[in-house]
Structure 1
C-alpha cells in the first residue's frame, strides 16, 4: 500500500525528531511511530508465512508480560478486565469505511 504524501512527510519528521535527543517525542508522535513500526512487523511476518492468529497471540502475550513487569499483576489484570469489556461492547469491531 503506497503512502500518501502527508504520511511520508510525517514519517520523515518523526525520523528527524528521533535524531534530536533534547526533544522527546510527544505521546501522539510515539503512538504514530509505534503503529507504523508494528504494521511493518506485521506485514513482514505475514510475508514469511506466519499466520495472523500467531502474530496476534504473540503480540498480546508480549504486551501482557511487559505490563505485568511494569505495573504488577493486579493493575494489569484490571486493565485486561477493562479491555474485555471494551471488546464485548464492540469497540474493536472492524467497520468498513467508504470514502
Structure 2
C-alpha cells in the first residue's frame, strides 16, 4: 500500500467519523424534540424519561472532560456505551410519544 492509499483510507475514515457525529447530533436533536412533544402528551411519562435523558447527558458531559485521557480502546467502549444508552432512551421516548399521540380522542 502506498502513501496515496493511506491518505485515501484516512480521509474516508475521517469523513465517516464526521458523518456519524453529524447523524448522532441530528438524532439527539430529534430525540429532544420528541421529548418536548411527550411533555404535552403524557406529563408523567415525560418526567420519568426527561430525568433519564438528563442523567445520561450529564454522564456524557462528565465523560467528555476525561475522554482524551484514556486509551482508544476505552474510548471506543465508553463511546459505544453512551451511543447505546442514547438509542435506548430515545427509542423509549419515541414509543411513549407515539403511544400518547395514538391514544388521543379521535385517533
Please give the TM-score of this superposition, normalised by the length of structure 1: 0.31
RCO higher in structure (CA 8 A, sep ≥6): 2
Please give the TM-score of this superposition, normalised by the length of structure 2: 0.29
Greater fraction helix: 2
